[in-house]
Structure 1
Amino acid sequence: VPKNISLYYEKRDLNETPLERAEQNFDEAGPAIVTRRGTIERLKLTRNLPLTEYRCAQAVAKVPAKVTVLGPDRIAQRFKWEASLNVYKGLDDFVEHIVQIERQIIGELVNAGCKYIQIDAPGYTAYVDKISLDRMRSRGEDPERNFQRSSDADNALIEGFAGVTFGIHICRGNARTIDPKTGKLVPQWHREGSYDAIAEKLFNSLKHQRILLEYDSDRAGGFEPLRLVPKDKIVVLGLVSTKNSDMETVDDLKRRIDQASKLLPVDQLALSPQCGFGGLDSKVLSEDEMWEKLDVIVEAAKQVWD
């Protein structure tokens, strides 16, 4: 495993074609964050990086800082369980242990004063993506069992932390590349499919108070699944792309929020980017573009909710 993961990522044999699926080879050598890796011993927490990030952010923030923690489902999808049976009995054993470790991370965050924690769970869209589902089945996995295990784990992860708001973020991957014709940043993706097939199960089984959904492209489908969201949850619409140089407008965002509000009351809606601006890839928006997109979000939110 290379010491400089970002350098490794740049040298991977990835599809660089704009506006196409960025296919991943999970069996190649490399770090677990981008491949499936086995383990030679049971995992342990050696450093609480989200806690370090929270303390750094809160020291300079004028409002409460939110922290993101990678969810058990995503970690499990990067675990080569079939090569690790001498360490873990299988996926159930591994995921249960991951929950224990991550509860320690969350507990330390809560003790430090963190009141808003987002669980990053982009892998749930694998359960609507044919290629991902076929891969699970080829490894002898039952997608339905994987989904249930993951939702149970996500709920166990956040149980018992009174006074803390938990969100869960779901997307189709933050892959992007540069269009050689225009020099602009343009989207790619890792998974395809609307939320329809999993919406009822997902929205009603998860106990998180906020559900952050990617909605910046046709791959996410329409807003119809929002009708299945319980009344005690807020859906954060990820309408602003973090992987496209094209700039959204306040009017466009207001129009889409209005469309969504026909299926879920506007007081159960919020607005955000579709994913994070960062990542391992050096192909990112410029800092000015990032701030401009954030300014558009803030102005649209003011006009809708003020």
Structure 2
Amino acid sequence: MSTLKLRPPFRVEHVGSLVRPKELYDQRVLLEQGKCAREDLFAAEDAAVAHVVKVQRDLGLGTITDGEMRREVFFEGVFDKLEGMTFIPQRPMTEFKSYIPHVKLQSAMGLTEFPSWHCSGKIKRTVPFYIDHFNALKAVVPPEDVGRIKVNMCPPTWIHQRHGSDWTYDPAVYKSDDEYFDDLGIAYRAEIKELYELGCRNIQFDDPTFAYFCNDDMISGMEAAGVDHEALLDTYIRAINVCTVDRPQDLNIGLHMCRGNYMGGVHFSEGGYQRIAVKLFNSVDVDTFYLEYDNERSGDFSPLKHLPLNKVAVLGIVTTKSPKLEEAEALKARIHEAADIVAAGVPRRSKEAALNQLCISPQCGFASVWQGNPVTEEDQKAKLQLLLGVAKEIWK
């Protein structure tokens, strides 16, 4: 495990995705309608990346992303590039786990099939995930800010959480989850190594899997299906850890636990972190936890008492799902409440030390899919400026 990597004098980040500028949005609409080719988006994507970089730098955010301007959806760019993964455009819903919150919703909507992947061969990273994206982003960021670039990627658990051990991989290829995740770990480590060598110092896994374990309905569904959810939680913790093992000391890796952020900002899951906090904070080998705390379905701050001394928690206390602007005084009170809980945790620490382990952010991305949430770019800026103003008063 790493020691605490103190944050720079920036206390505010955004989670990753940003609202697409109109030109790119309109071009995406044409692509969806079959009126243009994928290549026709490249110029609009380049312009959009340059635009959102300027927005982030002008605001003074702690990290800089490309806003996922080159993606249709947040998880694009990993499993679709791995050798050994076969895309199935119409996979039967009977091969998805019905207790997974978003699968349950899809089934309730009457869907009988949905696109997904199946592991039909040994997993290998024969092409990079985001190297081209990183290089393009690096080209529009001043050299002194390259260390602030953050690359977001879906977690190794993404396909397995949908399909489980029986439908994720061919048993003739992998005999166990550990074998499957070991090869995935090799692929992820190769990507992380190459990104690091190019200057990347911040990587974030965007993961809805762990937050799902906070959902009482999913736990009940797993128990009814005979699934050992504690053992599966351990498997997923191990899956992250085989990706992050032996990383360089100055590489910050974060884990964002998402409760769902689909078109229109739809959420899929709810429940506080109490059920998983001890294992999560003490066993997952990452440096930073991005925690959604924008409403009552997120639970209270009490699980933060388990935050170790060598971890940072980024509190997602502003919602991306609504343009309504939160009250600054209420946000400051919540930060102090969280810091008091961290300070009184195990082991105890000073309030100053506890605050040093906290940052703030919106609860999720503003556009995890290209269509985005019901917010405009101006709404997005206002929310980020609100967080920046609050941070200046808390961390003077």
**Taking structure 2 as the reference length, what is the TM-score of the superposition?**
0.64
Pair 1:266 & 2:355 matched: yes
RMSD: 2.7
Amino acid at match of 2:281: F
Runs of 4+ in 1 over 4 A off after TM superposition: 3-7, 137-140
- Choose 63-72 or 50-59, whichever is displaced more: 50-59
- Residue in 2 that maps onto 1:160: 246
Structure 1 residue 138, shift from structure 2 partner? 5.6
Pair 1:286 & 2:376 matched: yes
**Cα 1:29–1:291 shift into 2, 3 Å:** same
- Residue in 2 that maps onto 1:182: none
- Residue in 2 that maps onto 1:234: 312
| C-alpha separation in 2, matches of 1:173 and 1:82 | 24
Partner secondary structure for residue 125 of structure 2: coil
| C-alpha separation in 2, matches of 1:90 and 1:267 | 41
Matched residues, number: 279
Q: 1:277-297 CA distances to partner (integer Å, 9 max, x unpaired)?
A: 122262422111112211112
- Residue in 2 that maps onto 1:87: 173
Partner secondary structure for residue 39 of structure 1: strand
- Residue in 2 that maps onto 1:96: 182
Which structure 1 residue ranges, 5 or more long, are not aligned?
Answer: 8-20, 178-186
Pair 1:114 & 2:200 matched: yes
| C-alpha separation in 2, matches of 1:110 and 1:134 | 41
Partner secondary structure for residue 257 of structure 1: helix
**Cα 1:266–1:95 shift into 2, 3 Å:** same
| C-alpha separation in 1, matches of 2:135 and 2:368 | 20
- Residue in 2 that maps onto 1:14: none
Question: 2:206, 2:257 within 8 Å by CA — same for their partners in 1?
Answer: yes
After superposition, where does 1:108-147 map in structure 2 within 5 Å? 108-137=194-223, 140-147=226-233
- Choose 218-227 or 248-257, whichever is displaced more: 248-257
Alignment equivalent of 2:237, drawn from 151, 156, 164: 151
Q: Which has the larger radius of gyration?
A: 2
Identity between Structure 1 and Structure 2 (%)? 31
Q: 1:5-27 CA distances to partner (integer Å, 9 max, x unpaired)?
A: 969xxxxxxxxxxxxx8623498
Partner secondary structure for residue 124 of structure 2: coil
| C-alpha separation in 1, matches of 2:325 and 2:301 | 22
Question: 2:366, 2:372 within 8 Å by CA — same for their partners in 1?
Answer: no
Structure 1 residue 46, shift from structure 2 partner? 4.7
Structure 1 residue 61, shift from structure 2 partner? 2.7
Structure with larger RCO (C-alpha < 8 A, sep 6+): 2
- Residue in 1 that maps onto 2:156: 72
- Choose 210-219 or 289-298, whichever is displaced more: 289-298
Question: 2:263, 2:371 within 8 Å by CA — same for their partners in 1?
Answer: no
Pair 1:296 & 2:350 matched: no
Alignment equivalent of 1:215, drawn from 266, 284, 293: 293
| C-alpha separation in 2, matches of 1:104 and 1:200 | 30
- Residue in 2 that maps onto 1:59: 139
Structure 1 residue 219, shift from structure 2 partner? 0.9
Partner secondary structure for residue 241 of structure 2: helix
Question: 2:156, 2:240 within 8 Å by CA — same for their partners in 1?
Answer: yes
Structure 1 residue 213, shift from structure 2 partner? 0.5
Structure 1 residue 135, shift from structure 2 partner? 4.4
Which structure 2 residue ranges, 5 or more long, are not aligned?
Answer: 1-30, 33-70, 74-100, 343-353
Amino acid at match of 1:119: F
Structure 1 residue 137, shift from structure 2 partner? 4.5
| C-alpha separation in 2, matches of 1:54 and 1:304 | 33
Amino acid at match of 1:121: D
- Residue in 2 that maps onto 1:16: none
Structure 1 residue 92, shift from structure 2 partner? 2.7
- Residue in 2 that maps onto 1:24: 106
Structure 1 residue 81, shift from structure 2 partner? 3.9
Amino acid at match of 1:49: F
Pair 1:172 & 2:259 matched: yes
After superposition, where does 1:178-257 map in structure 2 within 5 Å? 187-257=265-335
Structure 1 residue 255, shift from structure 2 partner? 1.8
